[in-house]
Amino acid sequence: MSTTFRPYSPDQSLLLPPDVRAWLPEGHLAHHVSDLVDGLDLTAFYAPYEGDGRRNAPYDPRMMVKVLLYAYATGVFSSRGIARALEEDVAFRVLAAGNFPQHRTLCEFRRRHLEDFQALFVEVVRLAQELGLARLGKLSVDGTKVRANASKRKAMSYDRMAEAERRLEGEIAALLRQADETDETEDACLGAEVRGDELPAELRRREERLAAIRAAKARLEAAARAADDARGRQPGQDRNPKGGPPYKRAYGEPDEKAQSNFTDPESSIMMTSNEGFQQCYNAQVAVDAEHQLVVATGLTANASDQGELPVLLDTVKETFDAQPATVLADAGYCNERDLTDLEQRGIDGYVAAGREGKQAATRNLEEHPATGRMLDKLATPAGRAVYAQRKWLSEAPNGWIKHVLGFRRFSLRGLAKARCEWDLVCLALNVKRLHVLKAA
């Protein structure tokens, strides 16, 4: 007896228009993203198109927001990858509803509305507050190094810049002498009125390289002057007026090992946990203890977390008019000034004074009383129990971002754009987190 198979007619056209939403099971993340975006205020996304009278109808911003948000929530970050998914992935096609924007369109839309996505991040956190999923009573703060859209091999130290500058100046001078000799020879053969070729490509490349090196040197020198000014050093001052040995470098002169990157000059070389030294930004998150939603973000080009704790608390205060009762942070945020700031705010802080399993650095507790009080608090069983919550409160979302979403490198360059993209990533994580909590 022959086997009867289920019907399979790939050449058969559909007799009735299908409901594309039925292609995905109920409760799918794409449905959650669609419903959530439909309830958000997208006025800022529509504003650029008001009354411009364009002939070609643009894509609906609501559709574009849904596609980009779902893409980041599922680990698709490049515009080309999103455009490819719109043709191959059912969930993307359901959200796009028959639209297929090209990668350039997606890239331009994201670039144009970076700050608007920041506003959506805040709106989603406020929505979570209304649902009782974020109370902002206890926050855990953590930082993580995220690779910049630049290679560390495109960076050069200040002493190498000076060496390369001298070498390129010599090569350019030699090429110019060679060009003069060639001009004289051609003038003798062809006449002085005959037009010659444009600037040789070899000379042009060297001049462009020299200009880039000089611009990088100028950035490092400006940063060195700013650092000296912050320390109270005056131009021409060779020795600290309070005593001590002479300064190792002149005012405004960068350290020989100070580096600048030619691809993304605003990023910095940082030590990562598993990839050694890389060109990175230092991404910050403040996580609500209620359901591990990110409620405040930050991004710096400084490898240290010092000074970032008050910045995140100020962001929470200004954005949500709220102040947490308890804050947890690791040793990277520990310094006398910020611990004193926590006490003045009336916040019950739990900030490690040293790495776990290692003895805290010896301090003069008479000069650092807030640090001494923090050490005493964390020495108690109750203090250790509260601080232990930090690992799974704030480190977990950073782990989800890198290992679940797969976001380990920025797509955009420059601190301002990278900061906006970090907000977009955290927005996508919160949307995915809300979907999980809703299904629970």
CA 91 from centre of chain = 27
| 336, 240: one domain | no
388 has pLDDT over 70: yes
If one compares 326 and 257, the residue with the highest pLDDT of the two is 326
Average pLDDT over residues 85-100: 92
pLDDT grade for 194, boundaries at 50, 70 and 90: very low
Angle between helices 114-130 and 308-320 (to 10 degrees): 70
pLDDT at 92: 95
| 240, 321: one domain | no
CA distance 322 to 288: 12
Which tokens belong to 315? 């962001």
164 has pLDDT over 70: no
pLDDT at 214: 66
DSSP character at residue 246: B
Give residues with Cβ within 8 angstroms of 265, minimum separation 6: 216, 219
230 has pLDDT over 60: yes
8 Å CB contact between 322 and 316 = yes
358 has pLDDT over 60: no
77 falls within a domain: yes
CA distance 327 to 347: 7
326 falls within a domain: yes
pLDDT tens per residue, range 245-273: 666 666 656 666 666 676 788 888 888 88
Residue where a domain stops, chosen among 261, 293, 328: 261
pLDDT at 190: 45
Residue 166 lies in domain? 153-261
| 45, 82: one domain | yes
CA distance 287 to 72: 19
| 283, 400: one domain | yes
pLDDT at 70: 96
5 falls within a domain: no
| 73, 26: one domain | yes
In 194-330, beta strands by DSSP E:
259-261, 268-271, 277-288, 294-300, 326-329
pLDDT at 22: 81
Mean pLDDT of all residues belonging to the chain: 82
| 253, 295: one domain | no
432 falls within a domain: no
| 277, 383: one domain | yes
| 272, 416: one domain | yes
176 has pLDDT over 90: no
DSSP character at residue 76: -
Scanning 74-157, the segments in alpha helix (DSSP H) are: 79-88, 90-96, 103-112, 114-130
Which tokens belong to 290? 């209620």
- Residue 292, Cβ neighbours under 10 Å: how many? 21
pLDDT at 430: 96
| 388, 273: one domain | yes
pLDDT grade for 58, boundaries at 50, 70 and 90: confident
pLDDT at 217: 60
Which tokens belong to 280? 């990175």
pLDDT grade for 57, boundaries at 50, 70 and 90: confident
CATH number, domain of 309, equals: 3.30.420
Angle between helices 369-378 and 336-345 (to 10 degrees): 80
197 has pLDDT over 60: no
If one compares 309 and 206, the residue with the highest pLDDT of the two is 309
How many domains are there within the chain? Answer: 3
436 falls within a domain: no
Cα–Cα distance list, 39 to 36, 60, 120, 131, 192 (Å): 5, 15, 11, 14, 73
Residue where a domain stops, chosen among 230, 261, 292: 261
Percent of the chain at pLDDT above 90? 52
pLDDT grade for 191, boundaries at 50, 70 and 90: very low
Angle between helices 415-439 and 29-38 (to 10 degrees): 110
pLDDT at 1: 63
Cα–Cα distance list, 240 to 214, 243, 248, 249 (Å): 30, 5, 11, 12
| 196, 282: one domain | no
Provide the b/e sequence for 246-276 (b: ≥16 CB within 10 Å). Answer: eeeeeebbbeeebbbbbebbbbbbbeeeeee
pTM for the complete prediction? 0.80
| 178, 39: one domain | no
pLDDT tens per residue, range 146-158: 999 888 776 656 5
Average pLDDT over residues 281-285: 95
DSSP character at residue 23: G
Whose CA is closest to 280, among 153, 143, 409? Answer: 409
Residue where a domain stops, chosen among 239, 261, 283: 261
CA distance 17 to 6: 22
Average pLDDT over residues 380-403: 92
74 has pLDDT over 80: yes
CA 245 from centre of chain = 40
| 285, 139: one domain | yes
